[in-house]
Chains A and B, each alone.
Chain A
Amino acid sequence: MDILVWLIPAALALGLIGLAAFLYALRSGQFEDLDGAAARILFDDETPRKKDPR
């Protein structure tokens, strides 16, 4: 059962990383436009993009 000492924290840490990524994505507005995101991937940036100040 000693293995639990490693396995459980490792599993929880992985889960927490996922949760943190989800919360980050939510906060940075990545869930705002799911339809648009699906379409956007089909287009190349043909004009050179300027630096985004964000």
Chain B
Amino acid sequence: MSVLGRAPAAEAPQSAPACAHCGAPVPPGAGRFCCAGCEGAHHLVQGLGLEAFYRKRAMAAGTLRPVEAPPADFAAHALEEKPGLHRLELVVSGLTCGACVWLVEQALHAEPDVRRARANLSTRRLTLAWEGPAARANDFAALIARLGFRVAPFSPACLRASDDAEGRELLRALGIAAFGAMNVMLVSVPVWAGIDMGEQTRHLMHWLAALIGMPTVLVAGMPLYRGAWRGLRAGRLNMDSAVSLGVLATTAMSFSETLRNGEYTWFDGATALLALMLAGRLLDRAARRRARQSVAELLALQEGQVQVLGAPAPVPVERVAPGARILVAAGERLRLDAVLESEEALLDTAATTGESLPRRFSRGEALAAGGVNMGAPFVARVTARAAEGSLAAMGRLIERAEQARGRFPALADRAARIYVPIAHAIALLTFLGWWFLGGLPWQAALVPAVAALIITCPCGLAIAVPSVQVVTSGALFRRGVLVASATALERLASADHVVLDKTGTLTEGRPRLLPGDWTEEDLRAAASLARASRHPLAQALLRACPDAPLAEGAVETPGQGLALGEARLGAAGFCGLPPDPRGMSLHFTRPGHPPVVFRFEDSLREDAAAAVAAFRAAGLGVELLSGDAPEVVERVAAEVGIAAWEGGASPARKAARIAELAAQGRRVLMVGDGVNDAAALACAHVSAAPASGMDVAQAASDFVLQGGGLLPLAEAVERARRAQRVAAQNIGFSFLYNIVAVPVAIAGYATPLIAALVMASSSLAVIGNALRLEGGGRR
């Protein structure tokens, strides 16, 4: 790249004062970068000659700010493919556009020993292969982290979540079915049109159709036959069994017609039906794939490793034995149940109990997994291995509740349960009628019977619901609501009561500076000190005064505070003041000024009140249920306008309250983010969790709210109801088609042409109806 070409490229995004690397706003006069990390990243990109990235990327400002690399050991995750050739699978968070993919791949390819680097934009997955020792894995991970992306090893759990073997099989089956359908059509259309076709030619055509159609039906139908078989073994008739029976009976009848050189064969109908079914199934999956992948990404990022004292490298959580002594760094999440061994620890237990204020623990107290260390690093002794700890117990509770919920019958299945036996009975009666009463030979009697079967085959019915789901999930996805489970929309549509958690759901879950007895100048001086720290309160202070310059030379004492010369910012004791019992606060002392105190609280989400109003407008009862202190809960409830609230609720109490409501016949939508909500989320009729919440909470939820906004969820209720109405209309549509077409089939007038017309037009009508949902959403 020429020198001439380089300068404007790097300068280009600088029209407003924005960081040259991540694009976040930069305080005037602070240079081209918002932080040292971005400066390093920019030099790295420039050194590799990859500045084209800055011209071509399309991403939100600030997402690329490098953070410290997680203390994970990537070498343990490297697989040896061949002697000397290692492979590593990573999740790369922040990979949002084609330019990012390019940057990551090119940067890795610039390393001399990298043989293969391929990033997948849809799954955020990077596959990396290199020649040399496994330990190089850490260098590569650090390189990507320096560019500003967050990396995590791909654990088996998230591999399972993102691996889409079933989707691939469906796609393959669809390809085969589409090929079969089109080629059978090639030989079948001449037979329908059949103007001057001799008997012999027709027979040839039949055989050709059978030759293409039968293998197609056999191979491409496998996913459906398996579903039907599963249903049969569970003693249920489902959509799959109806389709399978229809397709197989049609194929068998057509083969018999081929043998006796009948007038028509129906292979084209069977294969086209199969292709349509598979397409519907595939669309349905694709609608939820993005949600599953986002969840998998979150899982990978939260997948933890812990510092075990005496171990040379961090150890994966699941391998830590009880009795091990672990070191929990400042800002790190405690991932195992443990007993505190250090003198004192300050833990933010918002995720486990819902308390908004960090709690102080002293030596010998039991700590529950899930808390975040807000103070100095501490040592604790593990009391239970991960699989037996409190987090895992919660996971089992969720699983049990999920199984119960998994039995919620989907609308389409409910329709199929009524519809399938009727359709089969009609076909059977048609056959018997023509055979005994009509006096036809049994092969001939089979034709109208199977024609009735294929026309009643719930083709429109099978597409009726998936098409609605696809359109609605797509619209919700664009608003940041991820639909994670198959019947989530149906259940959301029927919800009539919403129970909200406070911390992290109604509130941001992060502290905000309260007005107090300090001047702008105090704030500015304190914020420039705070710029040197990653402590949550320091960050909150900085958010209140974002353009404070960095104070050079500030020294942080982890968990205590920051010092620069005589100036001190931090805990009361650290600043030489008497202890301060009141919640989240930072003290600030400097020579020549009176000491000041900055107080913080967990602020409400911007859209909290609007969301509560929207829930109410949708006819849902609203209730606040929190583990936090009653007076805090009362204040928040008053602020957003919720009359029914309850504070100090334990996880068990939350779940019990949900059960209580369910016993009153209410269908509860539970929204929560913490470990303490997981049980309630799982036993609610339908549930949602913000993407910033705990992984257990998301695993228990039907919806994941990206960006954490509640208002989109409130709107989703209305949208889900509309989707339900359209789905019901669609099912009605398909019934109507059948009521018209079935008598024709029974009477023996149906030809493959009529069957094809009915099938195609009913599917199109249903899809067209579903697309109305998309238009309606842009009000």
Residues of A that sit less than 8 Å from B by CB: 1, 4, 8, 11-12, 15-16, 18-19, 22-23, 26, 31-36, 38-40, 42-43, 46-47, 49-50, 52-54
Provide the B1-31 mask, 1 if CB < 8 A to any CB of A, else 0: 1000000000000000000000000000000
Whole-angstrom distance between the alpha carbons of A54 and B115 in the complex?
9
Contact in complex: B183, A11 (CB < 8 Å): yes
Nearest-CB residue, chain A, relative to B103: A43
Contact in complex: B186, A11 (CB < 8 Å): yes
Contact in complex: A19, B175 (CB < 8 Å): yes
B292 to chain A, nearest CB (A): 15
Nearest-CB residue, chain A, relative to B48: A47
Contact in complex: B116, A38 (CB < 8 Å): no
B444 adjacent to chain A (CB < 8 Å): no
**Given A18-B179, A52-B116, A35 contacting B122 (CB threshold 8 A):** yes
Provide the B107-132 mask, 1 if CB < 8 A to any CB of A, else 0: 00110001110011111000001000
Whole-angstrom distance between the alpha carbons of A43 and B543 in the complex?
37
Whole-angstrom distance between the alpha carbons of A39 and B103 in the complex?
12
Contact in complex: A23, B175 (CB < 8 Å): yes
Q: In the complex, which residues of chain B have a beta carbon less than 8 angstroms from the beta carbon of A39?
A: 97-99, 101-102, 121
Helix, strand, loop or mixed for chain A's interface? helix
B194 to chain A, nearest CB (A): 13
Q: In the complex, which residues of chain B have a beta carbon less than 8 angstroms from the beta carbon of A40?
A: 98, 101-102
Whole-angstrom distance between the alpha carbons of A16 and B98 in the complex?
34
B97 to chain A, nearest CB (A): 7
Nearest-CB residue, chain B, relative to A18: B179
B181 to chain A, nearest CB (A): 11
Nearest-CB residue, chain B, relative to A43: B102
Whole-angstrom distance between the alpha carbons of A38 and B120 in the complex?
12
Contact in complex: B99, A43 (CB < 8 Å): yes
Nearest-CB residue, chain B, relative to A1: B201
B233 to chain A, nearest CB (A): 30
Q: In the complex, which residues of chain A have a beta carbon less than 8 angstroms from the beta carbon of B119?
A: 36
Whole-angstrom distance between the alpha carbons of A4 and B1 in the complex?
60
Contact in complex: B187, A8 (CB < 8 Å): yes
Whole-angstrom distance between the alpha carbons of A35 and B447 in the complex?
46
Q: In the complex, which residues of chain B have a beta carbon less than 8 angstroms from the beta carbon of A36?
A: 98, 101, 119-122
Contact in complex: A38, B49 (CB < 8 Å): no
B305 adjacent to chain A (CB < 8 Å): no
B52 adjacent to chain A (CB < 8 Å): yes
Q: A11-B183, A38-B98, A50-B115 are in contact. List 11 more A-B contacts (CB 8 A).
A: A12-B212, A32-B122, A33-B120, A33-B122, A35-B122, A36-B119, A39-B98, A40-B98, A43-B98, A47-B49, A47-B50
Whole-angstrom distance between the alpha carbons of A11 and B123 in the complex?
38
Q: In the complex, which residues of chain B have a beta carbon less than 8 angstroms from the beta carbon of A4?
A: 201, 204
**Given A31-B168, A33-B120, A47 contacting B175 (CB threshold 8 A):** no
Contact in complex: B115, A53 (CB < 8 Å): yes
Q: Name B175's contact: one of A26, A38, A46, A50 (CB within 8 Å).
A: A26
Whole-angstrom distance between the alpha carbons of A39 and B104 in the complex?
14
Whole-angstrom distance between the alpha carbons of A52 and B128 in the complex?
12
B43 adjacent to chain A (CB < 8 Å): no
Whole-angstrom distance between the alpha carbons of A40 and B204 in the complex?
48
Nearest-CB residue, chain A, relative to B81: A53
Q: In B183-214, which residues have CB < 8 Å from any A CB? A: 183, 186-187, 198, 201, 204, 208, 212
